[in-house]
Structure formats: structure tokens, C-alpha cells
Structure 1
Amino acid sequence: MSLVIGLTGGIASGKSTVSDLFRQYNIPVVDADVVAREVVEPGEPALAEIVRSFGEDILLPDGTLDRPKLGSIIFRDEKKREQLNNIVHPVVRERMTAERDRLKKTYPAVVLDIPLLFEGKQLQLVDKVVVVHVDSSVQLERLMQRNELTEQAALDRINSQMSLEQKASKADTVIDNNGTREETREQLEQLLTSWEIIDK
């Protein structure tokens, strides 16, 4: 029986580090962000729906989605964010479910990396939830550096999601990612051992 692990956290909490570590233990990761990019490629029905809802000027000259422009609209407007999520989330969920079911036939565990696991009410897709947690000051600093954002722009993005504390309170397990990569890896190894996915 394959265990389906939902991996989530806040923006800039270091979720991709933990995803990479899962892969090092030969556990496949289905990344919602990657799938979400695929479903809005030119020619995909979801992109056509986004254009109908947000207008042609949301596209770049080559017909691809202008992500920064769309991001600046939705991070400050909850109604528009909800509108976008209602277009993209069902398609992403359908593709992720198909990929999960395919991988479950081969691997003892499969990770679904879903940033909005709680907000998108997608808990039914997974058996266990792992939240990657960092202190809020670390999260803010990492996001400002990574995305070259002002403090206010970074805070807008952080505040558009459920807080890390709320997510941590709903998790089966929390991985503390304030320390080094090796410390994070040790926590993950202990977790995978306790869930009998790997041997010590």
C-alpha cells in the first residue's frame, strides 16, 4: 500500500528543499506549481478561460501568460485570486490525481507538493500532511531576497496565504527548516523511518 504524503508550507519556507530531499530517497514528487504552469500553456483550455476572465492584456506578445502582471492583480484582490483559483485548481487537481495514481503502482510513497493544500481544500488527495515551517522573519527575508521584492510586496504575498502557524497546527508532522539543509534532511529521514517508508 503506497502512502500519499501532502507536502506544504508557506511561500519561501523552503518546501523545494524538502521536495529535493524526498527525491534523494527515491520518493517521487508531483509538484502542483509545475502542473499549474503546464495547464496554462498556450493552447490549454485553462489559459483561454483566464483570458476570458482577465482580458487579453494578461498575455505576453508570444501568447504566453504574463505571470508578473497576473500576480500583481491577484495578490491584492481576494475576489480575483478566488476567480483564478476556480479556473486553475480543478484542472491541476485532475492531473495530479492521475499522476498520483500512476506512481502509487510503483513506489511505496508518493509526495504531492501542494502550496495551497489547506486553502484549496485538497486534503482528500493525501494520507498524511507534512508542513515545512520557518520563523516569519526568516520567511520574509528569504522571499524578499529570492524574488527581489520590497518588504510590502513580500508581506502581501505572505498574507495572501494561510499562516504557517495555522498550517503547522493542522499537519501530521512539521519539519523545521530554520537550520541547515543537513538538519532538515535528518528530520525527514527520521520521519520516513517512523512511517516505515525507508529502513534505518
Structure 2
Amino acid sequence: MMYIVALTGGIGTGKTTVSNEFKKLGVDVIDTDVIAKYLIKPGSNLFKKIVKKFGKSILENNILNRKILRKKIFSSKQNRMWLENLLHPLIYYESFKLMSHLKSKWCIWVVPLLIEKKMFNKVNRIILLDCSIKNQIYRVIKRDSITKQEVKKIIKIQASKKKKYIFAHDIIYNNSDLNDVKKKVYILKNFYTYVSKNIVHKKNI
């Protein structure tokens, strides 16, 4: 059975940076954001449902403009819940479908809303990425070209750090030193490899 390590954290904490470091070490990574982009590609059923719901103003060259869509989602709880209820069940289904085809004994599953959606009971271990609020805001503004107020609104909607720490098994602080992050990833990779092999061995006894 696949040993699943969830990688989660608030917006701008560096989930892509850390998951890429695991990839460099040969770890299988399943990213829910990548799956979501695939599910809502132009012409797909989900794409059509989203355009029908929010109108063609969210399109740019017949592709969903994520910046415009984000504004509509985070300006209305009803809109946000509608989209999450539409996407998340399919994202999780596709995630576990991909896991079933992996030959490795464990994988990293990148799930930004793991805590918010109470998916922690679906995984064996949880890595929480954390950094200062200042860094979160700076990174998201730089990445997505949105305002400071918009970033703060997104952070406020997500689960608090206090709540996330309750569920976290391992924590990676991603404030500035990438070398420190790489060292932590290397240590955790070795640990999960050992644990996953040990669990499989015990189950086969």
C-alpha cells in the first residue's frame, strides 16, 4: 500500500519549491494544482461549467484567466464553495488514481487545502511549510501581480497557522535560505524511504 506524505502550507509558503527539491531526489510527486489545471483545460466539461457559472469575462484567449477567476472566488464565499465542491472531489479521485499506478513505495502529495478540507485522514504523514506572513505576501504579489489586500484576504480565509501546526508531523521553514530547505528535504526523504519500506515489510510478515 502506498505510503502518502502530504505537503501542505498557506499560499506563498513555497510548496512548488519544496516539491521540486523532492523531485530532484527521485521522489514521485503528485501535485493537486497540476491536476486541477489539467481538469479545467479548454474544452473540458469542467471548463464549460466554470465559464457558464462566471461568464466569458474570466477568459483570455479562450483560456481561464486565473487572476480574474481568483478575484471572483475570493470575493464571495458562495462562489468559492461552488468551485471547490466542483473541483476537489475530482482532484482527489485523480490523485489516488495516479498513486495506484506508481511503482514506488511512497510519494509526496501536494495539497494546499489538506487541513481545510479535512483530508489529513487520507495520508500517513504531513509536512507543513511555514514562513513569515511578510514573505508570503511578498512572494504572492511578485508571482501573481495582485494587491497586498488581496493576498491578506486569501491568507485570512485559509486555516490558521495554529490549526495547521496541530496536524503537522514535520515542518519546513522556508523563509530565505534555500540550502537549509534542501538539507531538510534530504533528511525527510531518507526518513520517509526508511519508514515506508519498514511498514511494507511488517505488512508482509
Give 1:148's match in structure 2, choosing from 137, 145, 148: 145
Q: Displacement of 1:22 after TM fit?
A: 0.7
Give 1:118's match in structure 2, choosing from 97, 115, 120: 115
Other structure's SS at 2:138 match: helix
- Residues 109 and 197 in structure 1, CA contact (< 8 A), matched pair in contact too: no
Q: Displacement of 1:55 after TM fit?
A: 2.9
Residue 92 of structure 2 corresponds to which residue in structure 1?
93
- Residues 108 and 197 in structure 1, CA contact (< 8 A), matched pair in contact too: no
**Amino acid paired to 2:190:** T
Counterpart CA distance in 1 for 2:146 and 2:43 is 31
**Amino acid paired to 1:159:** K
Aligned CA-pair RMSD: 2.1
Residue 19 of structure 1 corresponds to which residue in structure 2?
19
Taking structure 2 as the reference length, the TM-score comes to 0.86
2:185 is the alignment partner of 1:188: yes
Distance 1:164 1:188, change over 3 A: same
Counterpart CA distance in 2 for 1:131 and 1:122 is 14
Residue 137 of structure 1 corresponds to which residue in structure 2?
134
**Amino acid paired to 2:12:** A
Distance 1:148 1:70, change over 3 A: closer
Q: Displacement of 1:164 after TM fit?
A: 3.2
Give 1:45-56 correspondences, 5 Å limit.
45-56=45-56
Distance 1:155 1:114, change over 3 A: same
Residue 69 of structure 1 corresponds to which residue in structure 2?
68
**Alignment gaps of 5+ in structure 2:** 197-205
2:44 is the alignment partner of 1:44: yes
Q: Deviations over 1:89-110 (max 9, x none)?
A: 111111111001111xx11321
Counterpart CA distance in 2 for 1:194 and 1:95 is 27
Give 1:167-178 correspondences, 5 Å limit.
167-178=164-175
Counterpart CA distance in 2 for 1:144 and 1:185 is 24
Task: Give aligned pairs, total.
Answer: 196
**Alignment gaps of 5+ in structure 1:** none
**Amino acid paired to 1:178:** N
Distance 1:128 1:142, change over 3 A: same
Taking structure 1 as the reference length, the TM-score comes to 0.88
Counterpart CA distance in 2 for 1:21 and 1:140 is 22
Identity of aligned residues (%): 29
Distance 1:179 1:58, change over 3 A: closer
- Residues 35 and 92 in structure 1, CA contact (< 8 A), matched pair in contact too: yes
The structure with the largest helix share of the pair is 2
Residue 6 of structure 1 corresponds to which residue in structure 2?
6
